Amino acid sequence: MSSPLDNSYIRHLNGSENGHHNGIETSHSPSPSSSSRFGDDEIGIVNMEIYFPPSYVDQSELEAFDGASTGKYTIGLGQTKMGFCTDIEDVNSLCLTAVSRLIAKSGVSYADIGRLEVGTETLLDKSKSVKTVLMRLFKESGNTDVEGVTCTNACYGGTAALFNCVAWAVESAAYDGRYAVAVCADIAVYARGNARPTGGAGAVAMLIGRRPALVLDRGLRGTHVEDVYDFYKPEMASEYPTVDGKLTIQCYLRALDRCYARYCAKREASEGGTVDLNSFDAVLFHTPFCKLVQKSLGRLRLNDFVRTPKEERLARFPGLEGFLNVELESSYFDRDVEKAFMTDSRELFEAKTKPSLLIATNVGNMYTPSLYGGLVSFICGAPTLDSLRGRRVGLFSYGSGLVASFFSLRFSDDDSPTSPLAALKRSLGDVQTRLAARNKVTPAEFDRVMRERELSHHAAPYEPKADPADLFPGTWYLVGIDEKHRRQYEQATTSYANPQVNGHS
Amino acid sequence: MSSPLDNSYIRHLNGSENGHHNGIETSHSPSPSSSSRFGDDEIGIVNMEIYFPPSYVDQSELEAFDGASTGKYTIGLGQTKMGFCTDIEDVNSLCLTAVSRLIAKSGVSYADIGRLEVGTETLLDKSKSVKTVLMRLFKESGNTDVEGVTCTNACYGGTAALFNCVAWAVESAAYDGRYAVAVCADIAVYARGNARPTGGAGAVAMLIGRRPALVLDRGLRGTHVEDVYDFYKPEMASEYPTVDGKLTIQCYLRALDRCYARYCAKREASEGGTVDLNSFDAVLFHTPFCKLVQKSLGRLRLNDFVRTPKEERLARFPGLEGFLNVELESSYFDRDVEKAFMTDSRELFEAKTKPSLLIATNVGNMYTPSLYGGLVSFICGAPTLDSLRGRRVGLFSYGSGLVASFFSLRFSDDDSPTSPLAALKRSLGDVQTRLAARNKVTPAEFDRVMRERELSHHAAPYEPKADPADLFPGTWYLVGIDEKHRRQYEQATTSYANPQVNGHS
């Protein structure tokens, strides 16, 4: 197996470093990044958009309403606010909103898109894909030549869509060369009880192509797949999942161990040296709840510890001498190990992971978009473009059942005002304003909406009761479902009280 | 946009025709095909396996049982027999059987697989993917680093899985180079009434990689996508779809027109000359029922007619002078047009399409595997290897909702005894024997099984009532569903009355 490094080396030998390598004529000039390993083959995220619903419930108020102990949701889970959808939004409308906003602000036309791929586990139909519903956005452009369908594997569907879009963009560059769009969206709701505060809702759309702001490190993915029933949705008529809480935490952590080990081995083979948490400027995780992410960073620190030869451990990890004999497989629920490595990695967490939790703590678990909401948070939170330039980010995507991958992205080295990176940062400049502009509802009202969703889920015909005037302007929403289950959508055009958030639509 | 032809030309200029082009070290020697446009980039189908259930109902007996007029199913729809599953098989078991047989007979190990992708619209869970269930086959190999999830868009999911596997194999050749497996499976059942005889069930698994028996013509795909509700499954708790019969025929034919036009334009731009039905050695279709396929070939003949300049039409299409003013859009249900072009294309149908309908007429509509069952039929029906060598096949894949593609495959020019093509042909050598070894049941028994499926669909806990001894040996089957909807599978090991069909398991 040749390593990715070989590519540029062999291209160099072939005298085809720029312009015509791979037999592909490229229209773009080479990236200014001299550290690029793929040259014009660089494919990744050109632009991003996030959508979250305009209403939320406060987690400390929800604790009181649920009769839970104070801090159970806010400190125990690390959650602050939870976004939720009324009956006027469904997974189709979430995707319509995210994709239409992405295209509008990216300065591309629907005719420039050659692939559109959806990741979701909020299925409204066993046959018709969300992707086909999104084609109404393309109608005016006349472009119907758009590959891609819907990818499903719990919270991993968005990552599958992203990887598929990147592979498509690489493979079809020679004869197509258009952009791809990966969009992921879910409405995460739980029956009353312990899991309810871990809900959320939202969508992330990503424009994929050449000259990206964020390059995908192809060839460095570590994937782990197992056949388990940790979290699944066999009750087809219900919105609620079936969850084995303890098993799913164990599966998440085991998959993290395996994926990280594979990623590190591939990167060490490719780049040399030792790969550990210091090899990343940021580490982002799929986030069922924020506390699990802090534990997960501690878990990676434990992985680094275990991967270090015993004789070197104490020099590199002072104060952890009590854990020299810890094994990964037997420590998933060892509280002493968990606490020691969380404490040991606290500074790393503050620096490399906490900035990615803005959306996760304020919107909740969005399922497929969760990890990409983390990426949006990280970009929004960066004080300057310079603090993103050239930075390398590790990402862990987990989907129950299970499929998981650890992979990495690199921010472009070009942070000039007209660079893709500058455009991406500007493009996400309104996220904090939009978060702040949301409407807080009482836990009682939230509970009423949940009950209404239960009663109306899959009902046909159905006319939504919520008011489109409550949505952010430009939001797509469900107008009605006819007696044959056919869904109709429109775009909210009403003006919004806070004109600051009306930038993109 | 550069054309695929440019690739080999530019590689030639770079002096990298063999061995190291694209910076990829290839382990295989170049294909003996001198007409290859992609050289070592050639990716496609290395091997195939088909599975269909061991029981069928005779369509003429079903006509009588249903009180339908004689010939309604057999002549009107073109269907002979319909395969169906008892409660001991589900979409997971169908895929387990097809993949395990494919790997066993291909001489590869589960460790050689880097991607496994499933296409289906028979969803048993809204979150857990069929792909994860298949991982139990990989357990002994220790290989859990296998990308891919489940792709869903009605009957198009298998094509999405195939395209994703090819793109993955191309994109990851430099740093992975393992095989991919695309598997598609469905159980197509309808409520009592007109649509019931158009059911079927089965699975097709394809091994994707370099040095294939069948090369995918990358860059020549014509795709058409629309947002329509022609056939869909909004009743999540039911196995039966919601169908607008007339609309779905119109959508199928319109998508065929659009995809074919796009394919022809891309191929003419790439290869020069005029592309029409004479440009293919065979033309295969997604087959809801066989009569629609015969109409569809007539439809392509109409497309060729309309694409021909008016002044040349009568010379190329004698006897069709009455149709000079026909337009595609207004002729979907014009019986005179349909009849004239079906008659005009009868010889083409007999030569290029009918050989692909063996599985479709004897098993029925398998949904996602339907088109690939057509490919299996075509290979099985070829009298000699020489009659496949170098042949080019056009394929039309249609998934309601809708996503459709017209694309092409080329059989390898190498038909030596050790060639991949010879191995593929041998590998499918038992299909006709297996078809003949099936068990005919009465329409009354079939109806009883359908009622049993209705009652038990999504039931938990559940213990299947059918006898595994009725299955072909080596078939995976459902042992039981526990109270938490977790499904258990085993592999039938009982010996079968006809040892001829026991070749692969």
Q: Which domain holds residue B30?
A: 7-491
Domain-embedded: residue B498? no
Tell me, yes or no, whether A389 lies in a domain. Answer: yes
CATH number of the domain that B455 lies in?
Answer: 3.40.47.10
What is the ipTM metric for this complex? 0.90
**Are B131 and A225 in contact (CB < 8 Å)?**
yes
Tens of pLDDT, residues B308-336: 999 999 999 999 999 999 999 999 999 99
For residue A40, what pLDDT is reported?
Answer: 55
Which residues in chain B come in under a pLDDT of 50? 1-39, 494-505
Q: What is the DSSP letter of A29?
A: P
Which residue ranges of chain A lie beneath pLDDT 70?
1-40, 494-505
Give the nearest partner residue to A7 out of B23, B122, B242, using CB atoms.
B23
Q: Are A147 and A161 within 8 A, CB to CB? A: no
DSSP 8-state symbol, B501: G
Q: What is the pTM of this model?
A: 0.91
What letter represents residue A501's amino acid?
V
CB distance from B237 to chain A under 8 Å? yes
Task: Say yes or no for a CB contact (<8 Å) between A23 and B1.
Answer: no
CB A105 within 8 A of CB A143: no
The answer as to whether B500 is a domain residue is no
State the total domains in chain B.
Answer: 1
Instruction: For residue A485, indicate whether it is catalytic.
Output: no
For chain A, positions 172-191, list CB contacts with chain B under 8 A: 172, 174-177
Q: Give yes or no for a contact between B48 and B380, defined as CB atoms under 8 angstroms apart.
A: no
**Alpha-carbon distance B174 to A170, whole Å?**
12
The pLDDT value recorded for residue B40 is 55
3-state secondary structure of A403: strand
Of B122, B147, B224, Cβ closest to residue A223: B147
Helical pair B335-344 and B290-307, crossing angle rounded to 10 deg: 90
pLDDT of residue A493: 81
CB B165 within 8 A of CB B182: yes
CB pairs under 8 A between A and B: 298
Helices and strands: H and E segment counts in chain A: 15, 17
Q: In B, residues 200-229, which contact A (CB 8 Å cutoff)? A: 218-219, 221-229
Could you tell me if residue A401 is inside a domain?
A: yes
Contact B232 A175 (CB under 8 A): no
**Residues in chain A within 8 Å Cβ distance of B145:** 222-225, 262
Does the residue A278 lie in any domain? yes
Interface probe, candidates B16, B37, B125, chain A, greatest A C-beta count within 10 A: B125
Spatial neighbors of B51 by CB under 8 A, at least 6 apart, are B94, B97, B98, B101, B185, B202, B203, B204, B475
Residues 6+ apart with CB under 8 A from B206: B45, B47, B48, B102, B162, B165, B181, B182, B183, B372
Conformational region of residue A294, where left means phi above 0, alpha means psi within -120 to 50, and beta covers everything else: alpha
Find the catalytic residue in A85, A121, A184, A264.
Answer: A121
Give the angle subtended at the CA of B254 by the CAs of B251 and B258, to the nearest 5°.
135
Which one, of B12, B7, B5, B9, lies nearest residue B266 by Cα? B5
Phi-psi region of B39 (alpha: psi -120 to 50; beta: other; left: phi over 0): left
Nearest C-alpha neighbor of B125 from the set B98, B150, B159: B150
Fill in the amino acid letter for B20. Answer: H
CA distance B42 to B170: 9
Residue A121 is among the residues annotated as catalytic for this protein: yes
Chain A stretch 261-280, residues whose beta carbon is closer than 8 A to a beta carbon of chain B: 262, 266, 270
Predicted confidence at residue A14, as pLDDT, reads 28
Which residues on chain B are in Cβ contact (under 8 Å) with A23? Answer: 6-11, 14, 21-22
Predicted pLDDT at B248? 97
- Which of B14, B20, B134, B149 to mutate against chain A (most A CBs within 10 Å)? B149
Dihedral angle of Cα A127, B395, B91, B114, to the nearest 10 degrees:
-110
- The answer to whether residue A499 sits within a structural domain is no
- Name the amino acid, one letter, at B329: E
Is A503 part of a structural domain of the chain? no
How far, in Å, CA of B449 to CA of B438, rounded? 17
- Which residues are paired to A67 by β-bridges? none
Query: How far apart are the C-alpha atoms of B369 and B167, rounded to whole Å?
Result: 20
Residue A313 at interface with chain B, using a CB cutoff of 8 Å: no
A92-122 in b/e form (b: 16+ CB < 10 A) is bbbbbbbbbbbbebbebebebbbbbbbbbbb
Share of chain A above pLDDT 70, in %: 90
Give A230-284 pLDDT, tens digit per residue: 999 999 999 999 999 999 999 999 999 999 999 999 999 999 999 999 999 999 9
pLDDT at B473: 93
**Could you tell me if B356 and B393 are in contact, meaning their C-beta atoms sit under 8 angstroms apart?**
no
Cα distance between residue B463 and residue A503, in whole Å: 57
CB within 8 Å: A151 and B146: no
Closest Cβ opposite residue A153 in set B123, B150, B233: B150
Q: What's chain B's length in residues?
A: 505
Q: Which residues of A touch B232 (CB under 8 A)?
A: 125, 127-128, 485
Asked if A127 and B403 come within 8 Å (Cβ–Cβ), the reply is: no
Structural domain contains residue B256: yes
The CA-atom distances, in angstroms, between A451 and each of A87, A142, A455 are: 11, 41, 6
Decide if B290 is catalytic: no
CB contacts under 8 A, A 78-117 vs B, are: none
In this predicted structure, what is the pLDDT of residue A30? 32
| Rounded CA separation A502/A494 (Å) | 11
